[in-house]
Amino acid sequence: MFNDDGRTYAFEERAKSGFARGEGAGVVLLKPLSAAIRDKDPIRAIIANSGVNQDGRTKGITLPNEKAQEDLIRRVYAEANLNPDECGFAEMHGTGTKAGDPIEAAAVHAALGQNRTARNPLYIGSVKSNIGHLEGASGIASIIKAAMILDNGLLLPNADFKKPNPNIPLNEWNMKVVNSTRPWPRGKKYVSVSNYGFGGANAHVVLQKPPAPTQAADDAEADGDPKRRLFLISANDKDSLKTRISDFGVYFEQRPEVFENSLFGNFAYTLGSKLSHLSYRIAVSATTLDELGIRLAQLKINPVRVLGAPTVALVFTGQGAQWAQMGIPLMADYPVFKSAVERADECLRNLGAEFSLLEELQKDATESQINSPHLSQPACTALQVALTDLLRSWGILPSSVVGHSSGEIGAAYAAGIYDLEGAMALSYRRGQMTQLLKKTFPDLKGTMIAIGAGPEAVKPMLKTLKSYATIACVNSPSSVTVSGDVSAIDELEPILQEKSLFNRRLKIDVAYHSDHMKNVAEAYLAAIESIQPASTSTATFFSSVTGEIAQPSDLGPAYWIQNLTSSVLFSDALAKMCDDEESRPNLLIEVGPHSALKGPILDIQKSLGPAASKIGYAPTVVRNADPAETVMDAAGAAYVRGAPLNITDVNFPRSGAKNRSFLRDLPRYPWQHSTRYWHESRIADKHAKRDGVRNDVLGAQAMYSNDLEPTWRNIVRLDDIPWLRDHKMQGMIVYPMAGYVSYSPSK
């Protein structure tokens, strides 16, 4: 049954015994053609038709039925109206057996080779000559070979083919075994694949070339997609990730972008949308392949293994971090962001605003009035709403939210407690209160100062002041903001300088979060009393008014009066969020016009200990930086922690990647073989790796022997030790006493 040489001599004169086993497995992905084209998958081949039948009764279970094989091939072609003359190659079962090969060749000739000539032969072959007979996987191996032939346009040869089997008249039948790689025959369409089972099952599949992909013009500017792309690279271990990044660097060097304009977009599309996202990840944004190559070369690779989707919390910056044209470039790149800002602008107009939010956000620093409280308040909220929508469209959804001061309005929107209209109304009315305060109480002069000390250190200083001042914000355990009369702040500054404490007066003329704001509390309540929260939320809301978790029902109009007039307990709220083992986030993303809360956040995390210090931080917008880069970096921070990004919306928000194609020539995945998964018991390993030779007296070292107690085992057989036959007593063979003595341990 088995080949004497352990090799398959398909269609050769050397095929005089049985088949040669091989070991292997194969995987073929099947998908409807329309779906594969829609998803822009790399299509290797199309299944034109397939069929199976059975040999029926034969002279023996191992003997094939030529007529059954021929009938099957004819039926498969006829059912799909395929022309057998257009078959360019027949991948045959070809086990290299004395009986099987001639029978199969006759069947294939009868079904596919009738109209062949010497110049137009039927090419045949068998992958078993290359890898042996994989038995249950042999058919899959043949399908893979056939698909490779069609995909590459090359006929693949039988390995080490020498002389044809004399029982197969190849020349007479105009059939030819491929013995070297050669081009696909002109005018041919199909590859026929045959595979037969031990018990008489026959299977036949006809493959054909896929349609040529339609390549649309690759013009990023015409598509309107961002020039900056986020590249997601992953692997199953750290070493593979490092090798993969290095391989991509070589890949870029071999393909200058000046000659391949579409490579940048196609590379981002292939990495993000077509490859699997594995456990060890990096994310890098770039505007060109050159920039990407430089960033990858400079990257410090020390990823943490992803074990699941991360818990993301959004932290919303309060008023005061605004700047001219903050985040505006995102409007040109992302329709979701633009739509949110435009809706916010329309909402403000409906509320009676005398300014255009869109116009103000687009003004440069010399013309902008963004620092005016009646503008900065709704502008910051509009930016936060737009950033929240953008992150949501990318698949980044918060499990919890917290806001600093007026940032709580954006946080409430992100948690689904208020819609866009409600959030913009709250912020617009809040901004109006500043104007009302100045108009109604022109003699009330207030300001604020940031201090690098904790509340316990600052409170005694405030008691010594002659004028009114209070702690307005507890930003972190070592940072507060004091609000009050200008005279009180003037008096406080030299005290702080004398104590060598950091202090910086804020460029505002309103004492927020102090008794000053109580003068407009009733007016604010009257303006917002019709704005009610939702009954449910999509994220846990950590209140910086109370320092505790707040329910949606708690965030009614009265809450926002407290938000305006009382101290901001941001440190308590964030500590509550990060100190809870069950709800502790993996990543904090600051949503606002600047990374103003980075320092306080890191300070709070440090005070909570090692577990909280491991929580990541990422801003969405940073003053005077490219907002596309910073918000992509935030998305990348979520990705490396396991977040499943909607990467098409990140990189191709306008075109949907319709003009992108799969790169089929990327470097292969660098498998790591250093980890051994094969387990052998000590006894099995000892049996396979016995050291030393057998001794006639001691025998061989026992499988259960170990270094502490070496043991030998011997079975005495006359055939193994023939000289024992000469040691006899009274005609009987007796084992010599010297042998027994030699077994005794020496002293």
- For the stretch 419-451, pLDDT in tens is 999 999 999 999 999 999 999 999 999 999 999
Mean pLDDT of 502-525: 93
Give residue 219's pLDDT.
Answer: 56
Give residue 258's pLDDT.
Answer: 58
Give residue 384's pLDDT.
Answer: 98
- Alpha helix stretches (DSSP H) within 394-479: 407-414, 420-440, 455-463
Mean pLDDT of 84-98: 93
Q: In whole angstroms, what is the distance from residue 153 CA to residue 133 CA?
A: 25
pLDDT tens digits for 460-473? 999 999 999 999 99
Give residue 214's pLDDT.
Answer: 65
Q: In whole angstroms, what is the distance from residue 303 CA to residue 314 CA?
A: 23
Give residue 1's pLDDT.
Answer: 63
Average pLDDT, the chain: 92
Which pTM value belongs to this model?
A: 0.85
Give residue 329's pLDDT.
Answer: 94
Core vs surface per residue 174-185: b (16+ CB within 10 A) or e: bbbbbeeeeebe
Number of H helices, E strands in the chain: 27, 24
User: CATH assignment of 446-508?
Assistant: 3.30.70.250
Tokens 């006809």 -> residue:
206
Could you tell me if 590 and 547 are in contact, meaning their C-beta atoms sit under 8 angstroms apart? no
pLDDT tens digits for 254-311? 887 656 778 999 999 999 999 999 999 999 999 999 999 999 999 988 888 998 999 9
Dihedral angle computed from the Cα positions of residues 689, 690, 691 and 692, in that order, rounded to the nearest 10 degrees: -140
Choice between 259 and 148, residue whose per-residue pLDDT is larger? 148
Choice between 172 and 302, residue whose per-residue pLDDT is larger? 172
- Whole-number percent of the chain with pLDDT over 90: 75
Give residue 709's pLDDT.
Answer: 85
Closest CA to 595 of 320, 381, 313, 295: 320
- Whole-number percent of the chain with pLDDT over 70: 97
Choice between 604 and 720, residue whose per-residue pLDDT is larger? 604
Could you tell me if 436 and 449 are in contact, meaning their C-beta atoms sit under 8 angstroms apart? no
Closest CA to 8 of 155, 185, 142: 142
- Residue 212: pLDDT band with limits 50, 70, 90: confident
Give residue 692's pLDDT.
Answer: 66
DSSP states of 230-293: EEEEEESSHHHHHHHHHHHHHHHHTS-TTT-TTHHHHHHHIIIIIS---SEEEEEEESSHHHHH
Mean pLDDT of 78-106: 93
Please give the C-alpha separations between residue 113 and each of 78, 90, 167, in angstroms, as whole numbers: 15, 10, 17
Residue span(s) of the chain under CATH 3.40.366.10 come to 312-432+512-642
Give residue 521's pLDDT.
Answer: 96
Architecture of 33-208 per CATH?
A: 3-Layer(aba) Sandwich (3.40)
Mean pLDDT of 477-487: 96
Residue span(s) of the chain under CATH 3.30.70.250 come to 446-508
Q: In whole angstroms, what is the distance from residue 236 CA to residue 240 CA?
A: 7
Long-range contacts at 25-31 (CB < 8 A, ≥ 24 apart): 25/134, 25/137, 25/140, 26/134, 26/137, 26/140, 26/141, 26/143, 26/144, 27/140, 28/140, 28/143, 28/144, 28/147
The CATH superfamily label for domain 312-432+512-642 reads: Malonyl-Coenzyme A Acyl Carrier Protein, domain 2 (3.40.366.10)
- Residue 324: pLDDT band with limits 50, 70, 90: very high
Q: What is the largest CA-CA distance in the chain?
A: 135
Closest CA to 622 of 592, 651, 588, 589: 592
- Residue 565: pLDDT band with limits 50, 70, 90: very high
Choice between 591 and 722, residue whose per-residue pLDDT is larger? 591
Q: In whole angstroms, what is the distance from residue 53 CA to residue 140 CA?
A: 18
